[in-house]
A and B are shown apart, each in its own frame.
Chain A
């Protein structure tokens, strides 16, 4: 079964820490995405990547960065975590437009 795997389901970090969220897909997909999900706001795109070492800002990139050194791995980095970054983070990948996204199970991050 094809998969998008997020390394942690639950994470608790302190304010000011540097946080890494990892996402790995085994489908040889070109496109990968990071979203955050908050009640009442739906999913908001943080960053996406359509190729190795390529990245594009989404709608809410402030306070985040990403890294894609290999095709299968897309990392989200919180440079200095803040409490307003407490959220559910969802990684997704896709091969093209028609197939839609495959999502990971999500990482619920709490910043205290």
Chain B
């Protein structure tokens, strides 16, 4: 069975501090992995994706994530948090043979303190 686990439903960091949002997946076939961001009362916006090329993936707004097969992880990081990063972040997994059906984690709300 395929699934995604996001550790920590709420994460709080100070402005300028490192952001680390955790995502682990379960899969019996090679996965494609995505991070999305959702601002209040909006839809989800793609941050970055891993699709079997480079394992370190850079996305928008200074975020990046590293695919680690041995750890079945795809953690999202940003070296220095900005107030505008406050949002909810979702990790998602899909597979090539799956009609593009995604499995989403339950989300992590990031709070950035001044």
A-to-B contact residues, CB < 8 Å: 4, 9, 31, 33, 35, 40-43, 45, 48, 50, 56, 58, 90, 92, 94, 96-98, 100-106, 108
B-to-A contact residues, CB < 8 Å: 9, 32, 34, 36, 41-46, 49, 51, 90, 94-96, 98-102, 104-107
In the bound complex, what is the Cα–Cα distance between A94 and B9 (angstroms)? 27
B89 to chain A, nearest CB (A): 11
Chain B hits for A98, CB < 8 A: 32, 49, 51
In the bound complex, what is the Cα–Cα distance between A35 and B45 (angstroms)? 15
The answer to whether A103 and B99 touch across the interface, beta carbons within 8 angstroms, is no
In the complex formed, the residue of B with least CB distance to A105 is: B43
The answer to whether B44 and A45 touch across the interface, beta carbons within 8 angstroms, is no
Chain A hits for B32, CB < 8 A: 97-98
The answer to whether A41 and B46 touch across the interface, beta carbons within 8 angstroms, is no
User: Given that A40-B9, A41-B106, A42-B107 are contacting pairs, would A96 and B100 also be in contact in the complex, using a CB cutoff of 8 Å?
Assistant: yes
A25 to chain B, nearest CB (A): 12
In the bound complex, what is the Cα–Cα distance between A65 and B34 (angstroms)? 28
The answer to whether A101 and B102 touch across the interface, beta carbons within 8 angstroms, is yes
User: Given that A48-B99, A97-B94, A97-B98 are contacting pairs, would A108 and B41 also be in contact in the complex, using a CB cutoff of 8 Å?
Assistant: yes
